[in-house]
A = this chain, B = another copy of it.
Amino acid sequence: MMGNILGERLVLMSFGESHGKCIGMVLDGCPAGLPLSESDLQTQLNRRKPGQSIITTQRKEEDRAEILSGVFNGFTTSAPICALIWNKDQDSRPYDAMKNTPRPGHADFPASMKYGGFEDYRGSGRFSGRLTATMVMAGAIAQKLLFYSLSVEVVAYTSEIGGIVSKPVTFKQAKTNTYLNEVRCPDVDSAERMKSLILQARKQGDSVGGIIECIATGLPVGLGEPIFSSMESDLSKALFSIPAVKGVEFGSGFGGSRLKGSENNDEYIVSNGKIVTTTNNSGGIIGGLTSGMPLVIRIGFKPASSIAKKQRSVNLLTRSECEITVPGRHDPCVVPRAPPVVESLVSLIISDHAIRGGFIPPILKARKND
């Protein structure tokens, strides 16, 4: 399969370019009988869209989802669901000027080598963060499917920005507070300081990075298909497809590499008649399989590549060195817009495995009053 497809049984295909006619996706394999409307997609898209606050890019993208297929009389049919967003508010002129001087941190240079100059370079084309909106459209469906069929809940939130670390939060706090502030950090104090830092970076023509945490609860025991489709394998594959992600860890992660086995192992006990572990250093995945404990993932984002400061580059045609300034309206920090993207990809992978494992049937019994 080519690189624009994700999943085995719940399959996402992404298409479209940042400054083309539209961006869109086809989701194949969604069971029949899930109540679904465009507003389900829109809710999550709205959480991702730019121009919502002073800390994100001021581009105004309406990002209105339109479902073209796969839904009939308000329910999914099991046919492929195509949904798209028509592009608006594009200014492609700066990209023509820049096309031969690759921007540091962006895909420009390797993409130009790979596609021989035929690539649509406007607004980073296929490599634009804008494409994450197609993940969100698909993920919103998966997220609804998981909750509807298995009561699984997935939440992602900002845990660290520019070195400012949030206090630890519970799943419930994350669920309740994440989208109450612009930074998407459930810890309000940290959120304030993160916001200041972002504004300061913008003022300096610079950018900052950060870390997103994601928790999923209610997972059945035994999702995952070792050896090569372990939950960590498939989740990380999906998450590393988000531009700017450079690190993924589960549970105690890299920190666990410094613990003793006796500290890091999660011991079993019985609680309310259920077998659980006393700690959750595994992040809910043991041997590549879900353990029934909450899934815990941390995703490291690099600082946004587009900065106002002057940078060194090379003219691809003349091979002479030069200095460039990246124009356009950019995010000084992409992290606050990432939680719905992370929730989406995590929901897609969990759904895919839940279908593979037989935990979600091909037809969902329509619930009363739905």
Contact = CB atoms under 8 A, between A and B. Distances in A.
A264 B206 contact: no
Interface in A261-287: 261-270, 273, 275, 277-278, 281-283, 286-287
Interface string A239-277: 011010111111111101111111111111110010101
Interface string A331-370: 0000000000000000000000000111001110000000
A265 B110 contact: no
A233 B226 contact: no
B307 A227 contact: no
B20 A259 contact: no
A212 to B, nearest CB: 10
Given A260-B207, A282-B105, A313-B267, A68 B22 contact: yes
A261 B207 contact: yes
Contacts of A356: 9
B119 A224 contact: no
Interface string A111-127: 10111101110000111
A340 B28 CA distance: 26
A119 B253 contact: no
A246 B253 contact: yes
A160 B257 CA distance: 8
Given A228-B241, A273-B319, A249 B250 contact: no
A204 B312 CA distance: 54
Contact of A72 (B118, B225, B292): B118
A166 interface: no
B313 A268 contact: yes
A107 B262 CA distance: 17
A44 interface: no
Given A305-B261, A363-B118, A5 B11 contact: yes
Interface residues of A, number: 150
A79 B20 CA distance: 12
Contacts of A247: 247-250, 253-254, 256-257
A104 B319 contact: no
> In the complex, which of the residues A111, A163, A211 has the most CB atoms of chain B within 10 Å of its own CB atom?
A111
Given A237-B237, A261-B105, A2 B9 contact: yes
A267 to B, nearest CB: 4
A57 B317 CA distance: 56
Interface in A223-237: 224-230, 232-234, 236-237
Given A6-B228, A163-B258, A82 B241 contact: no
Contacts of A50: none
B118 A33 contact: yes
A289 interface: yes
Interface stretch (A143-151, A170-178, A182-190, A295-303): A295-303
Contact of A104 (B16, B78, B267): B267
Contacts of A6: 227-228
Given A32-B116, A206-B261, A241-B288, A267 B230 contact: no
B118 A228 contact: no
Nearest to A362: B358
A314 B4 contact: no
A2 B26 CA distance: 12
Contacts of A207: 260-262
Interface string A300-323: 111111110101111010011100
